[in-house]
Structure 1
Amino acid sequence: MIVGGGFAGFHAARSLRKALPHDLGAEIVLVNRTDYFLYLPLLPEVAAAVIDPRRVTVSLPAALPGVRLAQGDVTSVSLANRTIAYTDPEGKVRELGYDRLILAAGSVNKLLPIPGVAEHAHGFRNVAEALYLRDHVIRQIEIAAATDDQAERDARCTFVVVGAGYTGTEVAAQGPLLTSSLVKHQHVLRDQKVRWLLLDTAPRVLPELDRRLSRAADRVLRRRGVEVLTGTSVQVAKHEGVELTNGDWVPSRTLVWCVGVRPDPLVDEIGLETQKGRLVVEPTLVVPGYPEVFACGDAAAVPDLTRPGEVTAMTAQHAQRQGVLAGRNVAASLGFGKMRPYKHHDLGFVVDLGGAQAAANPLKIPLSGVVAKAVTRGYHLLALPGNRIRTAIDWLQDAVLGRQTVQLGLVRSAAVPLETRDV
């Protein structure tokens, strides 16, 4: 039984299927909210109308032949009875038993106790939120063009992104490219200033990266007119705008929340020992006291053997590799292979800044500009478990034909505010 079909769960299912003999008769069940694996790193390009949303979704039944999909939300785990309960898409509660369990529930939006954020901010963790942001930005520009009220026009042409990590930086970098494409088709907005603000309490953008890459990303953002405000966040969020911690009031109708993530609430409900909200596990990913239970990805505090005393970061890179190991170690616990500890040296990161710009440090080699862009896109194509040719074609079409700047009308706004979602 594998709970969660993100980077950790998907790769756990795939590696376990390969590690077990086909004639064993074992059943692998993957429980996931959706019937697809979501490639999160490309969501900013979905929101910016660069690629089709279907490119970041890979069908689980198609990509994992031989793995049974149980679509739904896991609501409880009984370690004593070795069962899990989940609610299927039609609201029916179902129960399944297991011999081995891999907990790869992932993470959800990290909310801070800031007045108004839950009601007025837009999250950025799934396809619905990315599509809504795309529709929302286009809608704001179109409404701004339709009004003669300059104050309203200014507010609708102001976009605030909170969180200068990977996702927030990519959203803020892609944003001006999208809005400039929109504005050029609205003659009444020819002289209108479109503002993008990127806020973070950290002293610089991309604080996780090498300072050289951070500076490169900062230069790209500022060249595009993004107002980078470090050491600053939101004090109060309202429908009409946001009050910043520096005392400034910013009239706006758009607040994008990219502050970070926290482990799925299911982790707390299981009742096992946690560390900063993540399940405590041994280096082999086994939960102490429960040799039949494994945990990996954002839900697990996996000891980082390359940095004694620390746990691995909540990144897709670690989640994917832990998932692979979890699958192999489950097979080993059944007598097929040898149980191994998790040990992975960071291979670097890539950050797509839109256009021809990116920042990357593959194998600790700092890169920026066109070279980094090539590395970044190459990395994504290799990491995608499907849709590679279609994604490459979308990139080519965007470069040659430009992006399609039209509202899709696929997502109701009431379905997306942070207060109504767990992810």
Structure 2
Amino acid sequence: MKPQRIVVVGAGHVGLYAALRLSRKLNSVQAEVIVIDPQPHMTYQPFLPEAAAGNISPRHSVVPLRRELKRCHIVSGEVTKVEHARKTVTVRPIDGPAKEIGYDHIIVAPGSVSRTLPIPGLRERGIGFKTIGEAIYLRNHILDRLDIAATTPDPEMRKASLTFVFVGGGYAGVEALAEMEDVVRDGLKYYPELQQDEVRFVLVEASNRILPEVGPEMGAYAARQLQKRGIDIRLETRMESCVDGAVRLSDGETFRAETIVWTAGVKPSPMLDHTDLPRGPRGHLTCNTMLQVVDGDKVLDGAWSAGDCAQVPDLTNPGAWCSPSAQHAVRQASRLADNIRAVIIGAQPKDYQHKYAGSVASLGLYKGVAKIYGVKLKGFPAWMMHRTYHMSRIPSFNRKVRVLADWTLAFVLKREVVSLGQLHAPREEFTHVTPPLGDDRSPEPVGAGSR
């Protein structure tokens, strides 16, 4: 019997966990699992703030696909089309022509991208916070601003360099802001030219509270703790423009900032625009409680989805949808893999059901808030809960050990606050010193004049 081919589009939380479980529960006679992703790793996004802050190495917040998915076939490329009517996907590899791959089952889990708005200047000035590259760039950019502020003779440039704006008061925005405020506070110890009262962090949130996931009481506590650190929190406020770094808020204030970080929500991956699968009003794939893609009451044979890009009914809260969180994504991945296995061996798939356990959020080193099964935690205990939970969730024993080693070293050694900004343009210096062909300043051939 020919093995069933299972194609997994995307290697995020859903894709990686589902592929890993399928490869363990099905043998090579039963199924072939193909994972397609442009990146050779899965990014554990809850660790992005700590990677940006230097608490852990950026490499330790990603999971190499080929190491973790040894029994799967990894295709490094971008899916440009899904034609479920023909059960084929079109893949554009890193290099070379596009190719088609047929399948019996497909897991569509490309995840989400930043939900941006048509704000003047945002495209040119904004910094996202969804990938490990963006996290590294943000760290280097902020530390570079300290160097600029310490050396510029222009007081306006100095003030703009020390002003940091974060738009979005959810997990990503608050955790990134809190960690980077810690980094700047520690970095100022090495800049006698700069004073703490010159630094300004601004959090802009369109709703009337931050961290809605931990409840109003814990969200209010988090806001008070951030304000005690001098962070300017603007609720019920929107950023209307940031052309050339001139930030204009809806409350009427205008100021210059050289750092504008956008974390105001996510939307399904635009890859879904190139599929023939049914989608809901917000662009998500429509799924039933068994994580099968459905078109109204019709179940599409062999099409499955979960995570940020899927609209899955929440059986613990009738009428609602499962939230786009890592907590749901990891559990949905397990149920999805088991349901595909059930279909392949002739059994019945089961409903996905999980009551949301709660939320944890870091507010920087040794600080946090949490609400777990109704129990509220603040400060150090919440911070420890945050670290313990995410340590248990990141895939592979290898990564757990490496992250734990990073944390242990951070307890006894001072934080590194050096910028490696050259990483973002590594060939610039070499290109500058290498003249073009025909230039009379062309260097001598290698070895010339060496004798």
TM-score after normalising by structure 2? 0.89
Q: State the partner residue of 1:369.
A: 379
Give the SS at the match of 2:415.
Answer: coil
Taking the TM superposition and a 5 Å limit, the aligned residue runs for 1:5-84 are 5-20=11-26, 22=27, 24-84=29-89
Q: Which amino acid aligns with 1:397?
A: L
Q: State the partner residue of 1:328.
A: 338
1:182-215 per-residue CA deviation (whole Å, 9 max, x = no partner) reads 1111111136510100010110111232112112
| In the alignment, structure 1 residue 393 sits paired with structure 2 residue 393 | no
CA distance in 1, matches of 2:380, 2:197: 30
| In the alignment, structure 1 residue 239 sits paired with structure 2 residue 244 | yes
- Contact 1:328–1:337 (Cα < 8 Å) also in 2: no
Q: Which amino acid aligns with 2:12?
A: G
Taking the TM superposition and a 5 Å limit, the aligned residue runs for 1:286-297 are 286-288=292-294, 289-297=299-307
| In the alignment, structure 1 residue 251 sits paired with structure 2 residue 256 | yes
Q: State the partner residue of 1:97.
A: 102
Structure 1: which 5+ residue stretches go unaligned?
A: 415-423
CA distance in 2, matches of 1:91, 1:406: 39
CA distance in 2, matches of 1:146, 1:355: 29
Give the SS at the match of 1:175.
Answer: helix
**Residue 337 of structure 1, CA deviation:** 4.8
Question: Structure 1 91/265 Cα, relative in aligned 2: closer, same or farther at 3 Å?
Answer: farther
Give the SS at the match of 1:70.
Answer: strand
CA distance in 2, matches of 1:169, 1:11: 27
**Residue 380 of structure 1, CA deviation:** 0.9
CA distance in 1, matches of 2:64, 2:135: 19
**Residue 113 of structure 1, CA deviation:** 1.8
CA distance in 2, matches of 1:296, 1:332: 17
Q: State the partner residue of 2:438.
A: none
| In the alignment, structure 1 residue 412 sits paired with structure 2 residue 424 | yes
| In the alignment, structure 1 residue 384 sits paired with structure 2 residue 389 | no
Of residues 65-74 and 282-291 in structure 1, the stretch that sits farther from structure 2 once superposed is 282-291
Q: Which amino acid aligns with 1:165?
A: G
CA distance in 2, matches of 1:15, 1:336: 18
**Corresponding residue to 2:169 among 164, 188, 199:** 164
1:289-309 per-residue CA deviation (whole Å, 9 max, x = no partner) reads 412111111111011111111
Among all aligned residue pairs of Structure 1 and Structure 2, give the percentage whose two residues are the same amino acid: 34
| In the alignment, structure 1 residue 350 sits paired with structure 2 residue 355 | no
1:300-348 per-residue CA deviation (whole Å, 9 max, x = no partner) reads 1011111111211111111111111111111111116541011110011
CA distance in 1, matches of 2:107, 2:373: 30
CA distance in 2, matches of 1:382, 1:191: 36
Query: How many residues are treated as equivalent by the alignment?
Result: 413
Taking the TM superposition and a 5 Å limit, the aligned residue runs for 1:147-158 are 147-158=152-163
Give the SS at the match of 2:66.
Answer: helix
Structure 2: which 5+ residue stretches go unaligned?
A: 1-6, 427-451
- Contact 2:171–2:211 (Cα < 8 Å) also in 1: yes
**Residue 396 of structure 1, CA deviation:** 2.1
Q: Which amino acid aligns with 2:169?
A: A
Q: Which of structures 1 and 2 has the larger relative contact order (alpha carbons within 8 angstroms, sep 6+)?
A: 1
| In the alignment, structure 1 residue 112 sits paired with structure 2 residue 122 | no
**Residue 272 of structure 1, CA deviation:** 2.7
Question: Structure 1 55/321 Cα, relative in aligned 2: closer, same or farther at 3 Å?
Answer: same
CA distance in 2, matches of 1:353, 1:371: 12
| In the alignment, structure 1 residue 281 sits paired with structure 2 residue 287 | yes
- Contact 1:172–1:221 (Cα < 8 Å) also in 2: no
Q: State the partner residue of 2:415.
A: 403
CA distance in 2, matches of 1:122, 1:345: 34
**Corresponding residue to 1:186 among 166, 187, 191:** 191
**Residue 18 of structure 1, CA deviation:** 2.3
CA distance in 2, matches of 1:56, 1:174: 16
- Contact 2:139–2:180 (Cα < 8 Å) also in 1: no
CA distance in 2, matches of 1:253, 1:69: 40
CA distance in 1, matches of 2:28, 2:143: 54
Q: State the partner residue of 2:232.
A: 227
**Residue 405 of structure 1, CA deviation:** 0.9
- Contact 2:85–2:276 (Cα < 8 Å) also in 1: no
| In the alignment, structure 1 residue 141 sits paired with structure 2 residue 146 | yes
Q: Which amino acid aligns with 2:419?
A: Q
TM-score after normalising by structure 1? 0.94
Q: Which amino acid aligns with 1:357?
A: K
CA distance in 2, matches of 1:211, 1:58: 34
- Contact 1:199–1:230 (Cα < 8 Å) also in 2: yes
Q: Which amino acid aligns with 2:57?
A: D
Question: Structure 1 413/197 Cα, relative in aligned 2: closer, same or farther at 3 Å?
Answer: farther
CA distance in 1, matches of 2:246, 2:133: 23
- Contact 1:104–1:295 (Cα < 8 Å) also in 2: yes
1:25-65 per-residue CA deviation (whole Å, 9 max, x = no partner) reads 52100111211111000101111122110111111111122
- Contact 1:131–1:411 (Cα < 8 Å) also in 2: no
Give the SS at the match of 1:188.
Answer: coil
CA distance in 2, matches of 1:413, 1:368: 41
**Residue 114 of structure 1, CA deviation:** 1.4
1:333-372 per-residue CA deviation (whole Å, 9 max, x = no partner) reads 1116541011110011110111110111122211111111
Of residues 336-345 and 58-67 in structure 1, the stretch that sits farther from structure 2 once superposed is 336-345
